[in-house]
Amino acid sequence: MNILVEEEKPFSQRPEWADVVPLEQYENVAPLAPIFYTDEYKDATNYFRGIVKSGEMSPRVLELTENIIRQNPGHYSAWQYRYKTLMALKSPLDDELQLMDELAIKHLKTYQVWHHRKLLVQQTRNPGPELEFIANSLQVDMKNYHTWSYRQWILAYFNDDALWSHELEFVESMLESDVRNNSAWHHRFFVAFQSGVRSGDEDRDAIVRRELAFLQAFVLPYSLPQPPLGTPPEVDSQLPCVAAVEFMADIHEAAGGGDLVKATELWKSLANEHDTIRKRYWEYRIAESLKT
């Protein structure tokens, strides 16, 4: 028998499923907005309802749930029953994680994929390889919310010094690839301020100064005139990033003392050259700073 051809058959045509009574989805006689499922999906989910009713947990249930998940990765009931079956069979979870490697990349924005992976790692207690997997996933979509959230969960749930040790370096590498990656900036804030105090980070004021210095070094190039992508730089041809200039001025204002002069110079540049539409606002900022 050709196994590939057999696997492509609907479950209703497979002899090994003949003992299962499929259950069709209940709908009213004339549903207002019927969902037009494919025949393949109807067939698989009919058999899924049948095995859930009987309570069966067997290797063929894993085959069935994988079939459904590949058709509809958001089918949370299939995910839940698959996990219960894996636990009941004591299946090798490393094999399941390999399958998740494939499915997560294909369905990065599907919550159920990440939740299932989280359940598996809670069982394996081996979070180390996950950071590399997440880094590879972020190369596909560098700002994906689910991927970043899963990384934060790995770090916080296991809270292992080895996991945290290179996290700032990782975030910096992501920001070097795209300084406008708001997800990476949020993650850096999480690491620095929202994930507890680790050894060496007890001086919180020092951490604030470290982060301000990092921001200044990273933002400064973007507060200067930047040529359009693909064109050679020309002197005085482009305005700087107004938000970046304002941010630099805010930092100098917060530092106080002699730095107020630097803040004032930046506000004047905004008022007179780079953001003249808000000239009166920048003049107000200058006047307020002179009162302190």
Which residues form the catalytic set? 109
Between CA 262 and CA 268 the distance in angstroms is: 10
Phi, psi of 24 (to 5 degrees): -75, 155
Residue 5: its H or E element: helix 3-8
Q: Smallest Cα–Cα separation from 75: which of 119, 37, 21, 19?
A: 37
Q: How far apart are CA 120 and CA 94, in angstroms?
A: 9
Q: How many CB atoms lie within 10 A of CB 103?
A: 18
- Best CA proximity match to 265, nearest among 280, 252, 284, 279: 252
